[in-house]
Amino acid sequence: MPSGRSIAAFAVKFLVVHGALAASWPLCGPAYAFFLCESGNILFEAVGARGHVRIRPATAPDDEMNDTFILLRQGTSTNWTSTKVSSWHLGFLSTSLLVALTLATPLGWRRRVWASVGGVVVLHAFVLVRLSVNVVAARIHTGDTFWGRVWLVNVTNIGVGYPVSCFVPVLIWVAVTMRREDARRLVGSTQKKVSA
């Protein structure tokens, strides 16, 4: 079982790395929003929504950090409807949590780096699924309606979205850092303490 000192060291490292990544948002935010938009556009072109879904960075994010536009066109219509979402809530928060968890884990550096890279790839696949959910929701409720705003605030950002943004990185962190021998060691040391 990890000692109190090692748990405290992990917590301090996690807070420092996560704090540094969160503080970098004003600099990294536009680049992350652009990356999210480009990968989203590639996804929607691949699944046959070409010409009907466009993801674009907002030129002037609002106070709620909604910095990404989802633009939709229904059928053969020439009119586009738009909904704003937050790339911070969709992916950057989760990414910073996952990277902070993996880098704070007491493993060799090579294993930490590979866990971070693999975890971010898996996490970004999940982020694209969340983006797809937003596109489907935007087709049902456009963001400029009452129900569209309810969806964005409660499901994508704060209500369900925020806990998901925090919980999924923890699951991915466990999956990419924990090996069978780690689990056996952890269980074995716990059993020794119980028997003693």
99-134 per-position pLDDT tens digit: 999 999 988 899 999 999 999 999 999 998 888 877
* Domain membership flag for residue 76: yes
* Domain membership flag for residue 87: yes
* Domain membership flag for residue 196: no
Q: What band does 194 get if pLDDT is binned at 50, 70 and 90?
A: very low
Q: What band does 165 get if pLDDT is binned at 50, 70 and 90?
A: confident
So what's the pLDDT on residue 136?
72
Q: Measured at the alpha carbon of residue 56, what is the angle toward residues 19 and 87, in degrees to the nearest 5?
A: 20
So what's the pLDDT on residue 156?
52
Q: Give the structural domain span for 10.
A: 4-190
- The alpha carbon dihedral of 20, 26, 29, 34 has a sign of negative
Q: What band does 159 get if pLDDT is binned at 50, 70 and 90?
A: very low
As a whole number, the mean pLDDT across the chain is 78
* Domain membership flag for residue 36: yes
Q: pLDDT digit string (tens) for 19-63?
A: 999 999 989 888 999 999 999 888 888 876 666 788 888 876 665
Task: Report the run of H or E that residue 125 belongs to, with start and end.
Answer: helix 109-140
Q: Which of 114-118, 178-182, 192-196 has the highest mean pLDDT?
A: 114-118
Residue in 38, 76, 77, 30 with CA at minimum distance from that of residue 54: 38
* Domain membership flag for residue 195: no
Pairing status of strand 53-57 against strand 68-73: antiparallel
- DSSP-derived 3-state class of residue 2: coil
* Domain membership flag for residue 159: yes
Q: Say how many C-beta atoms besides its own lie within 10 A of residue 33's C-beta.
A: 26
So what's the pLDDT on residue 12?
94
pTM (2 decimals)?
0.77
End-to-end CA distance of the chain: 13
Residue type, 55: I
Q: Which residue has the higher pLDDT, 163 or 20?
A: 20
- pLDDT of 3 above 60: yes
Q: What is the rounded distance in angstroms from the CA atom of residue 89 to the CA atom of residue 3?
A: 34
So what's the pLDDT on residue 150?
56
Min mean pLDDT across 66-75, 121-130, 147-156 is at 147-156
Share of the chain above pLDDT 70, in %: 70
Mean pLDDT of 137-159: 56
Q: Say how many C-beta atoms besides its own lie within 10 A of residue 194's C-beta.
A: 8
What's the domain count of the chain? Answer: 1
* Domain membership flag for residue 158: yes
Biggest CA pair distance of the chain:
74
Pairing status of strand 53-57 against strand 80-85: unpaired
The answer to whether the CB of 146 falls within 8 A of the CB of 188 is: no
What letters, b where the CB count within 10 A reaches 16 and e where it falls short, cover 124-162? bebbbebbbebbebbeebbbeeeebeebbeeebbeeebe
- pLDDT of 189 above 60: no
* Domain membership flag for residue 13: yes
